[in-house]
Structure 1
Amino acid sequence: MKRILLPTDFSENAYNAIDYALNLFKEEACSFYLLHVFSPSIYYEERTFYDDRKMPLDDENQIDSLRQLNELRERILKKFKNPKHIFVPHSTLGFLVDEIGTMIEKEEIDLVIMGTKGATGAKEVLFGTNTVDVIKKIECPVIAVPSNYIFKIPGNVLFPTDYEIDYRKEQLAELLNIANEYNSAIHILHIGGSSNLSEQQVSNKLKLQKIVKGNSLFYDIPNGNTVEGIYKFQAKNPMDFLIMIQNKRTFLERLFIKSIVKKIGFTITIPFMVLPHWSKKGDTQ
């Protein structure tokens, strides 16, 4: 059974991500962990200033958190009557990224799905602070779902890459799972031109071709700005799902530089999966 972690701040953005997750995996048996992380009643900026072990168990924040989690679970069950899905509410005091990391290890989580923005939903940022932190720091596949995105079958998946990664089948397991379930076409986009590939890049590309095989298409775009190249490609070839591997040599780090995003007007309007550089479950071919 697949184990999926669904962090929530009880905003509609968070619920929309949950809605997407339940639709995406409607045919698969899943345990969904509904996670809410709350702050102590007396909040200090520096985490070392308080000890959560000394917080009373009946703290009003915890009571409110559990109440809202139960209401969320009931809302989900009322809309989605799927016998393949079970829901496990979890409320804890702490910091979101830390608690997600703890849950991933404790519950052997396969995938984290969350909204791109939290309750504030600031329009001028591409991702909320929590989403950025989770994508950068968590060693587990993460899907970020844009606000107000309505579920659509991921028939076309965009996979930008620089071929600098020694790909492993286990590393791409979540991508392959989705592609197999929906018979998705995987559009593998390399920006830089095929003539500029090193021997290692050529080797990595061949390995990737063997892993994805089936319904996959490969593209090479001449040298240029990576983020802008992805933006232009998607404008001409509408995609339903975007996937990246966490690798500092790719555009992923630059994606969070506001000046670059603002300059080209880049926005992500489709679900965006980020895979860790190495699989958390092992390194298998």
Structure 2
Amino acid sequence: MAKKILIPSNFTKHAWNTLVYALNLYKGVPCTFYILNAYKVPSRISLGRNNNADLDTAKAESEAGLQKIMQGLNFRKENEKHTFETISRNKELADAIQETVDTHKIDLILMVSRGENVSINAAFENEISEVIQKVEDCPFLILPEQMQSLPETNREIVFPTNYKFPFKNKEVAPLIEMAISLKASIRILYIDSDGKPLSKDQEQNKEALKTYFTEVDFSFHKLTQTTVTTGIHLFIESRESNFLALYKRRQGFFSKLFSQRFKEDIDFNPKVPVLILKELE
């Protein structure tokens, strides 16, 4: 069954680079790529004027931009395992993404973060953090603007957890699928900041992960005497890991990354692509 990947595009070179990166990332995997352009024409309530002309112009520009992308893909003579669909919507970006996720049962959303690092802290009010906050029931893969090519072997996805909460199998399924698709190992990282042994519940939650990850290569790791954010950075840099997977729980440490209230508390801007898993009902 083909994997369904959604790539929002605003027709910049960064959006095109994201698409090309995705094609290379999943070159061995059957995929349908949905390329979405969302434009928003504000409705005006004014005497004797309607919005049709502005709407028609914006729609034509959106469709022309998507057609240009398709022409570029045809010129590249892409992978036979890949198919493409274009979607143009007069909606806010988050609303257009959610509609596409629901309609087409999207497996993964790919977006690019401006700059050298992946900026996902909602306190800094960027478009990506807003979309991550609003869109439900679908994981994101956020790429840094300066994307590094993947090595052919020894690919790693770092997955930090404190084992305090149980995971559902369906919540970590996108991580497992990504590891299988990319032939990557999963490195489960526990940051022991307080020097206390794991509780009984933590041990049980750790054991549950073993049953979920039987199809992939995985290992458990522990760092002490460091903060969570510093520990993650050090671990990724020391091992030259390729991806970071974060679980966006409604409560808990990483939920702070996506909250407007914690601007001063968290300095977290990874340089590797970040897979964001969602808490599911």
Partner of 2:29: 28
Pair 1:56-2:52 in alignment: yes
User: Contact 2:117–2:144 at 8 Å: present in 1 too?
Assistant: no
270-279 or 100-109, which deviates more:
270-279
Rate the CA distance shift 1:198–1:270 in 2: closer, same or farther, 3 A. Answer: same
Code of the residue aligned with 2:138 in structure 1: it is C
Matches within 5 A, 1:55-134: 55-56=51-52, 59-117=56-114, 126-127=119-120, 129-134=126-131
Matches within 5 A, 1:206-245: 206-213=207-214, 214-222=216-224, 224-245=226-247
Partner of 2:191: 191
The runs of 5 or more residues in structure 1 that have no matched partner are: 280-285
For 1:233, what is the secondary structure of its paired residue?
helix
Q: 2-side partners of 1:235 and 1:26: how far apart?
A: 26
Taking only the aligned residue pairs, the percentage that are identical comes to 26
User: Contact 1:4–1:33 at 8 Å: present in 2 too?
Assistant: yes
Q: 1-side partners of 2:159 and 2:201: how far apart?
A: 19
Code of the residue aligned with 2:119 in structure 1: it is L
- How much does 1:43 deviate? 7.0
Partner of 1:19: 20
Which TM-score applies when normalising by structure 2? 0.84
User: Contact 2:14–2:145 at 8 Å: present in 1 too?
Assistant: yes
Partner of 1:204: 205
Structure 1 ranges of 4+ moved more than 4 A:
255-258
Q: 1-side partners of 2:61 and 2:205: how far apart?
A: 50
Q: 2-side partners of 1:241 and 1:124: how far apart?
A: 12
Code of the residue aligned with 2:5 in structure 1: it is I
Q: 1-side partners of 2:198 and 2:133: how far apart?
A: 27
For 2:168, what is the secondary structure of its paired residue?
coil
- How much does 1:215 deviate? 1.7
Code of the residue aligned with 1:107 in structure 2: it is H
Q: 1-side partners of 2:226 and 2:43: how far apart?
A: 46
Code of the residue aligned with 1:165 in structure 2: it is F
Q: How many residues align?
A: 264
C-alpha RMSD of matched pairs (Å): 2.7
Rate the CA distance shift 1:163–1:234 in 2: closer, same or farther, 3 A. Answer: same
- How much does 1:134 deviate? 2.1
Rate the CA distance shift 1:174–1:124 in 2: closer, same or farther, 3 A. Answer: closer
Rate the CA distance shift 1:234–1:7 in 2: closer, same or farther, 3 A. Answer: same
For 2:52, what is the secondary structure of its paired residue?
coil
Partner of 2:148: 150
Rate the CA distance shift 1:189–1:125 in 2: closer, same or farther, 3 A. Answer: closer
Which TM-score applies when normalising by structure 1? 0.82
User: Contact 1:20–1:150 at 8 Å: present in 2 too?
Assistant: no
Q: 2-side partners of 1:245 and 1:80: how far apart?
A: 36
